[in-house]
Amino acid sequence: MDRLQKRENSFSGGNIVKLFHLSDLHIGKQLHRYNLGAEQRDIFAQIAALAKEEQPDAVLIAGDIYDGPVPSAEAVSIFDEFLTELCAMEPQPAVLIIAGNHDSARRLDFASDILSKHKVYIAGTPPMREGERILRVTLSDGYGPVDFYLLPFVKPGYVRQLFAEEITGYDMAVRSLLAREEIDTKRRNVLLSHQFYTAGKKEPQVSDSEVHYVGGIENVDVSVLAPFDYAALGHIHKTQQIGGEMYRYCGTPLQYSVSEAGDEKSVTVVELGKKGEKPLVRERSLRPMRRVRKLTGTLREILDAAGEEVCHDFVSITLTDDVEAYQPKEQLEERFDHILEIRIDNARTRKLAEFSGEELVEIDPYEAFGKFFAEMNGREMTEQEEAMMRQVIAQEGEEEA
């Protein structure tokens, strides 16, 4: 069966459709120089345990399965273990997966036809040629059918061959693709999408770990989501709604940057009743092996606070001593075993910053190269060029570590 045709299946029963909404797993990601393989295995085991308890009818994974287009063998193994555990559940939930901007769409699509026979449905690439449609999976319960539309990450260049008029932006690309589907709004509809959605001038809260293009060029307005009873969104790392309770980013399962210190991670659980009823949304908390923490104070204050519940976490340390302490790095490393960074913030450094008159801003190297490439070539990178550049940057990061 063609992967772009409708797939049909049935829920386990009952009139309330229960969904687990996940996204931005970023399997294979490193936090500064630390491999997160053990942390990711632990958090996926927690999610699987919650799934056994809650027994969702479907698990929705809204993109960025991997942290790069060429995942390591370890990363593939971690995801395989997670999928295997979900598929071994009784009753087995359907698993619906789309590609995000970090994934290689074609690699993720591999074996999708075989996996669909085991209730694992994958959409790696959006429609790009005439005759192709958004992958729709139709599941049924006591209230009738629920149509799930699986829309992977879309760039305007991906879909230009489909339309006679020029596709000039992300909003137009998504809007045009959905318009082709002739969605039946009398039925219950759910969208999986991995884009930067905004509600008018309101943007979602972002973290340092997302790639976001300044100037709004990749924004998609939530008005395009009107036909859907629930939109399972990916791409943003903080749990939040955008433009309405039914349009939600579930966030990452782990803290993936210092800017996410203090963020509580969770699984978003969604219950759909009959058509016209608002979905019920709640969060099930996740407890990471190690939290990301920001610690600020004098060297003595921070050392005194290095209790057992803190010393094994990932820590970003800012020292405020006006007089330089003796071997601060060495003393801190004796107490903390996962230091991400050590910064100095005192009267001297503030004076230097004031004197320079400039604030140093760290920019994502891939984002910087993408902007440079587009400016120099008058076009965006192809998928192959993107994959090559991400691989080069990843290898460079590993060598520096």
d(CA 223, CA 227): 9
The pLDDT score that the predictor gives to residue 397 is 56
Return the residue matching tokens 């570590």: 401
What pLDDT does 4 receive? 45
pLDDT at position 2 is 43
What is the per-residue pLDDT for 117?
Answer: 84
Please state the φ and ψ torsions of residue 281, each to the nearest 5 degrees. -120, 130
pLDDT of residue 118: 84
CA distance 239 to 391: 29
Instruction: Provide the pLDDT for residue 351.
Output: 62
Give the pLDDT score at 368. 72
Q: Distances from the Cα of 230 to the Cαs of 18, 60, 248, in angstroms?
A: 12, 12, 8
What is residue 388's predicted lDDT score, i.e. its pLDDT? Answer: 81
DSSP lists the bridge partners of residue 17 as 272
Residue ranges in the chain whose pLDDT is less than 70: 1-15, 211-217, 348-364, 367, 371, 374-379, 394-401
- DSSP annotation of 263: P
pLDDT at 3: 42
Other CB atoms within 10 A of residue 186 CB: 8
Averaged confidence pLDDT in the chain = 87
- What integer pLDDT is reported at residue 389 of this predicted model? 79
pLDDT recorded at residue 115: 86
Q: So what's the pLDDT on residue 396?
A: 63
Residue 248 is classified by DSSP as E
Q: CB under 8 Å to 162, separation ≥6 — which residues?
A: 127, 128, 129, 130, 176, 177, 180
pLDDT of residue 82: 97
Burial-class residue 281 by CB neighbours within 10 Å (0-12, 13-18, 19+). middle
